Amino acid sequence: MTAIHVDRITKRFDPDPGKAPTLGTIDLAIEDGEFVALLGPSGCGKTTLLRMIGGLEQPTSGQVLINGESVSAASKAARRRILASVGFVFQEHNLLPWRSALANVAVPLEVRGMARAERRRVAAEMLALVGLSHAEGKLPHELSGGMRQRVAIARALSYDPDILLMDEPFGAVDAQTRDVLNLELQRIWMRRRKTVVFVTHSVHEAVFLADRVVVMGASPGRVVEDLRITTPRPRSLEATMTPEFLATAATLRDFLSDHFTPQESAT
Ligand SMILES: Nc1ncnc2c1ncn2[C@@H]1O[C@H](COP(=O)(O)OP(=O)(O)OP(=O)(O)O)[C@@H](O)[C@H]1O
Ligand SMILES: [Mg+2]
């Protein structure tokens, strides 16, 4: 079944018809349980696309369907219901600084009216899933960047969404931590089988994690390549050194450089 259907959407922020829209026509079907990585130059519209999938932004034309229901055309109440099955992990973790790790993970459960004891139980389980049981009582500033991102992932998983939208969640951590987090995300995905859309600037990360890598070009933002990664899971870090992995990564780097112009790297 198709979990996410980006149905011929366009997005224009600048009304000047002489300028290219931010997103040209994008048509993308993502299957239930699929892990899709989204690669592309800075400013090509990856975050905008993710925000439209998550109902945080309206397309200029076209629509986004989640499990067959249009988010874009839905009423406020219907949208809230549809989006209850969607979790977001932003580039910045957005944790509440005055709340412990456990209390942060419990926020979406509180919003959903879950009883206190049950909330604590689920939040503790989620922190255990991301390997942070020992940090339940810590405040965000007492955690490392990688630990904070793990708390953000635990929070997004807490209400058990079918779909997880992740916008460069590991962009700000060092390479070793990133490897660890990638392995952990793979483990979690294998256990929970969410549909994931994962934005990244790292070709390596995309090939390691995804079933499918979608490459975008800019001006207007559009899909320029859609590549399937068939390496069986679990994938080890050593598997990223095989000729097959390196050849796939090289192909993707070629696509990216074909669609890269220097001014796009300005941000
Ligand atoms: N709310 C907005 N109003 C006006 N323009 C916007 C808005 N949001 C994004 N844009 C523009 O749309 C384009 C795409 O932005 P977006 O953040 O989606 O890019 P991105 O691919 O996520 O880039 P990066 O890799 O740097 O995060 C940019 O030119 C940006 O300036
Ligand atoms: Mg972005």
Query: Do 179 and 259 belong together in one domain?
Result: yes
CATH number of the domain to which 63 belongs: 3.40.50.300
Query: Do 107 and 235 belong together in one domain?
Result: no
Ligand 1 neighbour 43 (Cβ under 6 A): yes
Distance, in Å, from the CA atom of 152 to the CA atom of 165, rounded to the nearest integer, reads 12
Q: Provide, rounded to the nearest whole percent, the portion of the chain with pLDDT above 70.
A: 97
- Angle between helix axes 116-129 and 145-158 (nearest 10 degrees) is 130
Name the token pair of 118.
Answer: 């049950």
Ligand 1 neighbour 48 (Cβ under 6 A): yes
Decide: 207 and 252 in contact? Cβ < 8 Å: yes
Domain boundary, last residue among 160, 194, 211: 160
Domain boundary, last residue among 160, 181, 197: 160
Name the token pair of 128.
Answer: 């255990």
Q: What is the pLDDT of residue 262?
A: 55
Protein residues near ligand 2, an ion, with CB under 5 A: 47
pTM: 0.92
Alpha carbon of 133 to ligand 1 centroid (Å): 36
Question: For the residues 150-163, what does the mean pLDDT come to?
Answer: 91
Ligand 1 neighbour 93 (Cβ under 6 A): no
Q: Provide, rounded to the nearest whole percent, the portion of the chain with pLDDT above 90.
A: 70
Name the token pair of 112.
Answer: 């959903």
Query: Do 201 and 257 belong together in one domain?
Result: yes
Ligand 1 neighbour 13 (Cβ under 6 A): yes
Confidence of residue 266 (pLDDT cuts 50, 70, 90): very low
Looking at the structure of the chain, the number of domains it has is 2
Domain boundary, last residue among 160, 179, 202: 160
Q: Of 186, 197, 255, 192, which is closest to residue 223 (Cα–Cα)?
A: 255
Confidence of residue 181 (pLDDT cuts 50, 70, 90): confident
Closest CA to ligand 1's atom 7: 13
Which tens digits make up the pLDDT trace of 109-135?
999 899 999 999 999 999 998 889 999
Alpha carbon of 264 to ligand 1 centroid (Å): 11
Query: Do 45 and 13 belong together in one domain?
Result: yes
Report the length, in residues, of the chain.
267
Residue 77 identity: A
